[in-house]
Structure 1
Amino acid sequence: MTNDVEDRGRATGPWAGADGAMLDVVLSDLAGIVGEANVHRDDALATEFRDPYDVPDWDAHWPSAVVQPADVDEVQAIVRVANRSGVPLWVNSQGKNNGYGGGAPRVRGSIVVNLRRLDRILEIDEELGYAVVEPGVSFYDLLDELDRRGGEWWASTPDLGWGSVIGNSVDHGVGYTEFGDHATTLHGMEVVLPDGELVRTGMWASSRSRAAHVHPRGFGPDIAGLFRQSNLGIVTKVGVRLIPKPETYAPLRYKVFEKDGLGGLVDATRALQYEGTIRNIPVIGGVLGTAAMRGPRAHWFDGPITDEAYMRTMREFGSGWWNMRAALFGPDEIVRSQLGRIERHLTNALPGGEFSATPVSGDDVNEHTLPLHPDRVQAGRPSQSLLKAIEWWGPDGGHLEVAAVGRYSGAEVVRCGAILREEMEAAGFDFWPSITFYPRSFIYLGVIIFDRANTAQVQAAYDLYDRLIRRLGDEGFPLYRGHVRGMDSIAEQYDWNDHAYRRLVERVKGALDPNGVLASGKQGIWPPRPAGVSARP
């Protein structure tokens, strides 16, 4: 890419991927902390901790090395080495944030601190329903332990289960249960600050509190939010809310077959959320994802996707033009009553649509009773099956996620989607809508899928991503989450009062990280003297 977002990732100096005596000394010091086997400079590790969807010869976000500590003491020691030497660090948990840059550092040549070895489930409280985990605990790890204990508690998960519970949650990740806003489920964090100091948040800041992981706040300012989507500290432990296994679990769908039916479906779904009948995070999407799970694009379409071709695919899969999914959890008689309420409300609001539901016992959530991934993931059962969808253009597929936020209004959702569709199709990409709904807002996920073997298409995808950041921001739909290449551009959209928000956070960054060693540029936040770059962007 040639835009300023990409250029800002091209650092100069000894940490810009250069081999040198200084780097050797630092890595020797780090090996003394974590052991030689846990410091990596080989090409295989460098490849894993870069953007998995880059063109192979792009190097703007390559790490110099990867270090993998095993406990909090080692994390603190690594941070102190960075402060002495001026090495830039980039921290991730599993490094699986694909679509947003994976494990790639914002500043080229940073040493990646990967936290997979901090992989303990420290506590599961089966009376009040919470777990205390480290960042190396994946969703699969947590689910396996809950199942081993009898499955009386469920976790909320994203679609893919390989990511970190902490990593996903602090990056404002989304699941599909009633606790699907994962950032709000974190109670009591332990954080290593950029100077190596250790702090705990909320009630956990009291050494005697017995409510560290069950109450959302403590005494005084609530600092926990400073460490979500942040470069102000490294989260090493956190309490996470769990969901009691319900007597009955009922995934449901409503299909609307008209192209212009989206606005009405959005408004009807909003009413059900407002009244509390739907309590999880519903999703509205189209048919392309279903088609991609069954075969590549060439199997379904030849050339641009016309309305006629789209409808032909709908008929083949029994899909609507727009498909809303949600789920209910609770006592059987209440769930069945709620299903009746939802069906009546939606069919009255949108005649001609099609309602379906699959109520099952909470003990029977599995691939036999619920063969479709969307039905299982709303019960906190992820899979890797959606990775098949990125083979849309070819077997070596990649994707970018454009995550725009707006007001929960049918008209607003339609307007945001029109922008995404216009820009995506003009750039030669298919329009893949996936819309998730909070009680008063939506996240419109525009998925840009490309073939990594086609360098021109990869370049076009990143250029499109940058244009969408700017246009969506201008139109009132700024992104809430972003790729490492687009973080400065996204931050530019939060511009009220001459970017007062960014200026405030950068003042905090300068105070906590005066040497600028921890993840400079993450979320567009830069310290006065960022390590690893010759000058502040």
Structure 2
Amino acid sequence: MTIELPSILPDGVEREDYARAVAALVDALGADAVQLEGIEEFRDPYDWPEWDTHWPSAIVQPGSVEDVQTIVRIANDHGVPLWTHSQGKNNGYGGGAPRVRGSITLNFRRMNRILEINEELGYVVVEPGVTFYELVDELAARGGDWWPSTPDLGWGSVVGNTVDHGVGYTEFGDHAAAASGLEIVLADGSLLRTGMWASSTSQAGHAHPRGFGPNVESLFMQSNLGIVTKLGRRISPAPELFAPLRFRVWEDADLVPLIDATRTLMLEGTIRNIPVIGGVLGTAAMRGPRSQWLDGPMTESDYRRMMKELGAGWWNLRAAVSGPRAVVEAQLERIREVLEAAVPSGEFSALPTEGHDVSEETLPLHPDRVQAGRPSQSLLKSVEWWGPDGGHLELSPVAPNTGRDAVRIGEILREEMEGAGFDFWPSICLFPRSLVYLGVINFDHSDPQRIQAAYDVYDSAVRRLGAEGYPLYRGHVRGMDVIQDQYDWNEHAYRRFVERLKDALDPQGILSPGKQGIWPASYRTDDQ
């Protein structure tokens, strides 16, 4: 068979070695599993089409764990780098784009089996190709007695989102923390299982979070040390009553008491899900493009006009409580009491709904339903803020869960974004002791100068945030090195430690080189 090779090949790989690797993949997996053309879907969807820095050279789609083992062994034999993703839909962070130009992308869409749903203990076991929609549908088909935690968009992978430290909005919204029992293919093709699942006789492989000895599960999250092929994750029982709630405040300064009061409710256990505080721009973008609202830089009067027209506050808290009716009713009263004491002018509302009756009819707004594990694609509308060909990046610094820290991050992001001609678009996810401040950079994807400006402000903001104690927890493929640079204690001891693991487990450096700013020895430069 003659194989016509793509024009973009992996940097540092000889054409003959690449050709032999592709031929071996086709021979082992079949021609339908190896794609050399039409791979545009697997690059960054918001990059300029003529830029090829993060283009893959081919796509390989395994159908089994054995296929994954074969793929990594072939990659090792020929020194070809792989870039692994599950669905490739993490668009605000680079989509399916690889760090190393010309990498072969290992995509998991063909491995999409739900392997177990345990309705006694409340967990699922899935392969990396299972989307949130598929899991939601399967749970619903079984009677809807269990809810998953999901991000806002449902097209992504349950495994991919979990191992990238993704966030949802139920009590198990910290997805990585809700995982128990991973199966991993290592760079030499061997298999590893973690936690209690490392015992071939354990009855609690996905029911208990740790095993005997060091817990290595987290080493394979946001990682290029191995490839996760199976994962167990907790789900929540459908409650008697589910109550999404809102609290709107009318002044920018109200953010500090709002966050501090919500922290009190979370630390005491009254609010157990992951609340979100957002401004009005996201709501406005769902109703129409920027030109419908603004014809120049945004002013306070513009912001207040949008608030009035959309019925939104300056800051808008969403959260949810669920459980037995009497408990939920008491929780709602406690939440109202604490929030109104903190911001007396704020407006509280709630929509108590029967747990088995959550739907678009009973809860027409996406922010309410997603807190019950019902994702949608509705937020994609907001990408069209600057026009129909829109793009976005997401900055995600982490801080202590205090109002003063949120205000400081907002000051940095506003100065950076507005100084570069972008709108300041904040959203804050709250955990009991920490917060993730999402700064969305929306841009006109039809203009390469605005795309480059977005990348530039991303880099600048990462450095400023890191210097003030707010490094990011997640990053775009173009920003992974500068994000990793912020983790600098003891002369970057963390990076040096993970590099030692990388060199030991993947001496050829074929698994996602550069992911999270961790490079194998063959790629490292003197200044890394």
TM-score range, shorter chain: over 0.9
2:163 corresponds in structure 1 to 170
Q: In the TM superposition, what is the alpha-carbon distance from 1:301 to its structure 2 partner?
A: 0.9
1:27 counterpart = 2:22: yes
* Ranges of 4+ aligned residues in structure 1 off by more than 4 Å: 533-537
Q: In the TM superposition, what is the alpha-carbon distance from 1:14 to its structure 2 partner?
A: 5.1
1:100 counterpart = 2:100: no
1:39 corresponds in structure 2 to 34
Distance across 2 between alignment mates of 1:337 and 1:312: 36
2:466 corresponds in structure 1 to 473
2:489 corresponds in structure 1 to 496
Native 8 Å contact 1:61 1:104 kept in 2 = yes
Q: In the TM superposition, what is the alpha-carbon distance from 1:28 to its structure 2 partner?
A: 1.0
Report the AA paired with residue 19 of structure 2.
D
2:4 corresponds in structure 1 to none
1:294 corresponds in structure 2 to 287
For residues 356-375 of structure 1, the aligned pairs below 5 Å read: 356-375=349-368
Native 8 Å contact 1:296 1:394 kept in 2 = yes
What whole-Å deviation, never above 9, does each CA across 1:242-290 have from its counterpart, x for those lacking one? 1000000000010000121111111011111111110000000001000
Q: Secondary structure at the residue paired with 2:170?
A: coil
Q: In the TM superposition, what is the alpha-carbon distance from 1:536 to its structure 2 partner?
A: 9.3
For residues 385-404 of structure 1, the aligned pairs below 5 Å read: 385-404=378-397
1:267 counterpart = 2:260: yes
Report the AA paired with residue 500 of structure 1.
A
For residues 39-188 of structure 1, the aligned pairs below 5 Å read: 39-42=34-37, 44-45=38-39, 47-188=40-181
Q: In the TM superposition, what is the alpha-carbon distance from 1:337 to its structure 2 partner?
A: 1.0
Check 1:363–1:197 CA distance in 2 against 1; reply closer, same or farther (3 A cut). Answer: same
Check 1:350–1:81 CA distance in 2 against 1; reply closer, same or farther (3 A cut). Answer: same
Distance across 1 between alignment mates of 2:220 and 2:28: 25
Distance across 2 between alignment mates of 1:520 and 1:222: 24
Native 8 Å contact 2:13 2:80 kept in 1 = no
Q: Secondary structure at the residue paired with 1:187?
A: strand
Report the AA paired with residue 23 of structure 1.
Y
Report the AA paired with residue 194 of structure 1.
A
**How large is the RMSD of aligned CA atoms in angstroms?**
1.5
Q: In the TM superposition, what is the alpha-carbon distance from 1:20 to its structure 2 partner?
A: 3.4
Distance across 1 between alignment mates of 2:391 and 2:365: 23
Q: Secondary structure at the residue paired with 1:231?
A: coil
What whole-Å deviation, never above 9, does each CA across 1:282-314 have from its counterpart, x for those lacking one? 000001000100100000111011001100110
Q: Secondary structure at the residue paired with 1:169?
A: helix
1:429 counterpart = 2:422: yes
Q: Secondary structure at the residue paired with 2:91?
A: coil
Report the AA paired with residue 171 of structure 1.
D
TM-score (normalizing by structure 1) = 0.95
1:201 corresponds in structure 2 to 194
1:520 counterpart = 2:526: no
Distance across 1 between alignment mates of 2:270 and 2:10: 54
Q: Secondary structure at the residue paired with 2:392?
A: strand
Native 8 Å contact 1:529 1:536 kept in 2 = no
Distance across 1 between alignment mates of 2:473 and 2:485: 12
Native 8 Å contact 1:427 1:460 kept in 2 = yes
Distance across 2 between alignment mates of 1:534 and 1:25: 28
Check 1:19–1:59 CA distance in 2 against 1; reply closer, same or farther (3 A cut). Answer: farther
For residues 330-479 of structure 1, the aligned pairs below 5 Å read: 330-479=323-472
What whole-Å deviation, never above 9, does each CA across 1:308-357 have from its counterpart, x for those lacking one? 11001100111000001100010011101110111111111101110000
Distance across 2 between alignment mates of 1:210 and 1:438: 31
Check 1:310–1:232 CA distance in 2 against 1; reply closer, same or farther (3 A cut). Answer: same
What whole-Å deviation, never above 9, does each CA across 1:99-131 have from its counterpart, x for those lacking one? 101000011110000011111001111111111
What whole-Å deviation, never above 9, does each CA across 1:67-87 have from its counterpart, x for those lacking one? 000000000010000111000
Distance across 2 between alignment mates of 1:169 and 1:232: 16
Q: Secondary structure at the residue paired with 1:293?
A: helix
Report the AA paired with residue 455 of structure 1.
P
Number of residue-to-residue matches in the alignment = 522
Distance across 1 between alignment mates of 2:8 and 2:60: 20
Distance across 2 between alignment mates of 1:34 and 1:377: 38
Q: Secondary structure at the residue paired with 1:480?
A: coil
Distance across 2 between alignment mates of 1:214 and 1:534: 43
Check 1:101–1:404 CA distance in 2 against 1; reply closer, same or farther (3 A cut). Answer: same
Distance across 1 between alignment mates of 2:50 and 2:137: 39
For residues 220-369 of structure 1, the aligned pairs below 5 Å read: 220-369=213-362
Distance across 1 between alignment mates of 2:337 and 2:123: 36
Q: In the TM superposition, what is the alpha-carbon distance from 1:21 to its structure 2 partner?
A: 3.4
Indicate which of 505, 509, 512 corresponds to 2:502.
509
Report the AA paired with residue 418 of structure 1.
E
Report the AA paired with residue 58 of structure 1.
W
What whole-Å deviation, never above 9, does each CA across 1:21-61 have from its counterpart, x for those lacking one? 3322211100122210111111x22x111111000111101
Q: Secondary structure at the residue paired with 2:498?
A: helix
Distance across 1 between alignment mates of 2:212 and 2:18: 43
Distance across 1 between alignment mates of 2:401 and 2:527: 38
Distance across 2 between alignment mates of 1:68 and 1:534: 32
Native 8 Å contact 2:8 2:57 kept in 1 = no
Q: Secondary structure at the residue paired with 2:97?
A: coil
Distance across 2 between alignment mates of 1:59 and 1:91: 18
What whole-Å deviation, never above 9, does each CA across 1:447-497 have from its counterpart, x for those lacking one? 000111011111110100010111100011000000110101000000000
Distance across 2 between alignment mates of 1:373 and 1:318: 16
Native 8 Å contact 1:286 1:434 kept in 2 = yes
Q: Secondary structure at the residue paired with 2:93?
A: coil
Q: Secondary structure at the residue paired with 1:392?
A: helix
Check 1:483–1:140 CA distance in 2 against 1; reply closer, same or farther (3 A cut). Answer: same
Distance across 2 between alignment mates of 1:118 and 1:239: 15
Report the AA paired with residue 369 of structure 1.
T
Native 8 Å contact 1:13 1:534 kept in 2 = no
Q: Secondary structure at the residue paired with 2:391?
A: strand
Distance across 1 between alignment mates of 2:130 and 2:345: 45
Native 8 Å contact 1:252 1:357 kept in 2 = yes
Report the AA paired with residue 124 of structure 2.
A
Distance across 2 between alignment mates of 1:391 and 1:111: 31
For residues 11-26 of structure 1, the aligned pairs below 5 Å read: 15-16=10-11, 20-26=15-21
